[in-house]
């Protein structure tokens, strides 16, 4: 039986109403079990707060205008809504805006009041229910009566929750077994946890591999014969933007490769350029030849996930490092020191900083590649404390900044609720160019405003450097940043990859422990 939109609206409310991870999982699993196999990817998307169409071309004004008199009885089905959104996304040409608005009004006219509210928040990117990827993976496993680890592994290889959910629902274990590491299909990158210091990292890992931590653009490169593709951290195809990377990997005398690394723009003296400079190579409309001459990219690889017919993701890091070193010239491999000596590690860290890099990565030699996870086998050590936070609102500037959105309201992600917890404001660290850019981007995401402040959809991630955390009664999380300043926006990150309030609380607890000692 076709799934009614009303049942998803009800499940969404149920998920949002509880802080229990188990209750969220069970509510989503019940919907997945009740859905037809072809509907499962839609259920996964909607209960994750997303739509399957990447770009609808519908702004907040059109969304607000679409909401009118509601239907008295629920009649919409999930396939009907998905098809309607597909038609809206496909509209093109001179009258496409009017066509999208008309089709949106038609969809909303068939929705009840509760369904209109759900659709409005879903399409605006504001449907926050606490159904993050980890909960969804557990729900998919529960719905199909499969081990969570098997579902997580399939998602790692497929890079798409909906595809895995449909296979699990329709085919069970045999469906999941089809997902494996494949050339030209990117897998989610492994992420790192933070360490307070090199000594902390070494104490946690023992003998470890220390690597430069580069402030560049993460790249995953696939080679099959002469065919090379390059994928960003967000799994977007960026092959056309990075011909230097393509050429470097295509020249390797192996049939098949999957490599993980960082592309970074270097100054003439070899010093790393700021992250924002590197990201100029990844814009939408590029004169690649001109940019290549102006901002040549270097690439440093730090992991090998496949070599010829051998998938290496489950192999210990030391074996993957050996494969990397045997396959690539030293100039393409990130500098690395394997040691158990904290003094040697500290010296390596100091050298990385002196060369202009962010710090170091410390990696456990026996750890597998935990794609999509923030594994304890990878620890990052930075000199300056930074957090990746989400812009929730911005205040209009005054004086020289009049007419620009300047003072940012910053929030950490709340993994339990799916919302964001404000940690403070900052107007520091912004150039005129950045002020112009962020004013344009924030106004495009406006949800409401008053005389001083523009509230926005929580989509833009910004890297914030700060000196300390302090207790604060002014914010709901009880903490505030001290001396916060903008280091740069992170267009490679989505809001669901921002740092969490739990991470911030752990930093504050560690800060208190250090203060007690000193």
- DSSP secondary structure code for residue 488 in this structure: E
Helix (H) or strand (E) holding 306: strand 297-307
Q: Which residue has the tokens 């160019």?
A: 433
For residue 24, indicate whether it is catalytic: no
Task: Round to whole Å and give the CA distance between 79 and 2.
Answer: 8
The Cα angle at residue 15 between residues 10 and 17, in degrees rounded to 5? 95
Count Cβ atoms below 10 Å from residue 73 Cβ, excluding itself: 7
Q: Which of 213, 223, 363, 425 is catalytic?
A: 213
Rg of the chain over Cα atoms, rounded to whole angstroms, equals: 24
Report the C-alpha gap between 42 and 50 in whole angstroms. Answer: 9
Nearest-CA neighbor of 440 among 404, 472, 465? 404
Pairing of strands 453-456, 359-364: unpaired
Count the Cβ atoms, other than its own, within 10 Å of residue 384.
Answer: 11
Cα gap 472→481, rounded to integer Å:
9
The CA distance from 497 to 492, in Å, is 10
What is the β-pairing status of strands 191-194 and 374-382?
parallel
**Three-class SS state of 10:** helix
CA distance 39 to 52: 12
**Residues listed for the chain:** 518
Strands across the sheet with 217-224, in order?
A: 227-232, 217-224, 256-265, 297-307, 310-311
**CA-to-CA distance for 343 and 355, rounded, in angstroms?**
19
Catalytic residue positions, numbered: 213
């Amino acid at each position: 039986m076709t799934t009614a939109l009303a049942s998803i609206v009800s499940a969404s409310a149920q998920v949002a109403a509880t802080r229990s991870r188990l209750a969220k999982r069970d509510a989503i699993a019940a919907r997945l079990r009740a859905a037809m196999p072809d509907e499962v990817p839609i259920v996964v998307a909607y209960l994750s707060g997303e739509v399957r169409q990447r770009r609808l071309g519908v702004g907040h004004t059109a969304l607000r205008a679409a909401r009118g008199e509601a239907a008295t009885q629920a009649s919409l089905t999930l396939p009907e809504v998905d098809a309607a959104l597909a038609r809206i996304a496909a509209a093109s040409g001179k009258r496409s805006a009017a066509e999208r608005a008309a089709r949106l009004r038609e969809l909303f006219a068939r929705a009840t009041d509760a369904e209109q509210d759900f659709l409005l928040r879903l399409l605006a990117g504001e449907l926050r229910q606490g159904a993050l990827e980890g909960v969804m993976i557990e729900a998919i496993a529960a719905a199909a009566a499969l081990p969570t680890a098997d579902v997580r592994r399939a998602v790692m290889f497929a890079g798409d929750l909906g595809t895995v959910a449909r296979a699990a629902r329709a085919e069970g274990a045999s469906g999941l077994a089809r997902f494996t590491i494949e050339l030209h299909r990117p897998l989610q990158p492994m992420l790192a946890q933070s360490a307070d210091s090199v000594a902390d990292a070494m104490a946690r890992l023992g003998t470890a591999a220390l690597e430069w931590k580069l402030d560049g653009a993460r790249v995953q490169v696939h080679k099959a014969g002469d065919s090379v593709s390059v994928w960003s951290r967000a799994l977007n195809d960026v092959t056309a933007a990075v011909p230097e990377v393509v050429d470097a990997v295509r020249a390797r005398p192996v049939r098949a490769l999957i490599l993980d690394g960082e592309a970074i723009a270097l100054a003439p003296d070899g010093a790393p350029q700021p992250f924002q400079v590197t990201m100029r190579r990844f814009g939408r409309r590029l004169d690649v030849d001109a940019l290549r001459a102006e901002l040549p990219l270097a690439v440093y690889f730090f992991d090998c996930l496949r070599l010829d017919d051998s998938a290496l993701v489950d192999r210990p890091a030391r074996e993957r490092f050996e494969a990397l070193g045997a396959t690539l010239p030293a100039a393409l491999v990130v500098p690395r020191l394997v040691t158990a000596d904290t003094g040697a590690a500290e010296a390596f860290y100091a050298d990385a900083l002196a060369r202009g890099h962010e710090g170091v990565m410390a990696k456990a030699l026996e750890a597998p590649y935990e794609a999509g996870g923030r594994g304890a086998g990878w620890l990052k050590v930075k000199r300056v404390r930074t957090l990746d936070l989400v812009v929730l609102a911005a205040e209009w500037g005054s004086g020289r900044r009049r007419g620009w959105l300047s003072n940012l309201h910053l929030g950490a992600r709340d993994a339990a609720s799916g919302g964001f917890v404000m940690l403070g404001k900052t107007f520091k660290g912004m150039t005129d160019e950045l002020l112009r850019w962020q004013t344009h981007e924030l106004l495009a995401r406006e949800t409401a405003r008053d005389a001083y402040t523009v509230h926005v959809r929580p989509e833009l991630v910004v890297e914030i450097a700060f000196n300390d955390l302090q207790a604060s009664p002014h914010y709901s999380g009880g903490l505030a940043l001290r001396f916060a300043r903008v280091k740069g926006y992170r267009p490679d990150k989505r809001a669901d990859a921002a740092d969490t309030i739990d991470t911030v609380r752990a930093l504050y607890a560690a800060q208190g422990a250090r203060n007690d000692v000193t």
